[in-house]
Amino acid sequence: MRIFGIDPGSVRTGFGCIETDGSRSRLVTCGAITLPARASFPDKLLRIHARLAELLGAYRPDCVVVESLFYAVNARSALQLGHARGVALLAARQAGLPLVEYTPAQVKQTVTGYGRAEKIQVQEMVRVLLGLRARPSPLDAADALAVALCHVHHQSAATSMVTARPRRGASWRHFRPGSTNLP
């Protein structure tokens, strides 16, 4: 399965594509769409959309995973981030791809084991999980890869829950407080 992760931003939008069999993942590509500081905001959104559409066409992922909006102190920044997310969602839907979203805390918890991890910790864990020699750069690309890895984990967990067969007698009906016969 090929998963394309997006970390939306109005200054820089990170992207990362991985391929996985559910237990092992490998890097396909990653990077960031850096926008000219002097460009108008609508032009920045157009560039994000056009580049993502181009990347989705080139790498042909099975699904797109986007980091969802988080609480922001600055309303203007939150609004601009929302617009950037909107064009990322639009590019994915126009490509006809399934779309999944995870909060930043879910991504950090899944990838590092701590929902409030620092960006450098996420970057290092992405390096380790993908078996890379160097940390993916810039941080936005590492975040996009982390979003994709988060989806791999959640997909694997959902699949194993569906396919897992309970042990004989492994039911809460058989549990007796104080005993050791846990399901």
Catalytic residues: 7, 67, 140
Q: DSSP state, 130?
A: H
How many whole angstroms from its chain centre is CA 66?
6
Bridge partners of 19, per DSSP, are 2, 26
28 DSSP assignment: E
CA distance 80 to 146: 22
How far is residue 171's CA from residue 176's CA, in Å, rounded to a whole number? 11
Query: Which residue is it, tokens 């994709």?
Result: 148
Closest of 50, 41, 32 to residue 83, by C-alpha:
41
The CA distance from 94 to 39, in Å, is: 25
Contact status, residue 68 vs residue 101, Cβ threshold 8 Å: yes
Alpha carbons 29 and 42: distance in angstroms, whole number? 27
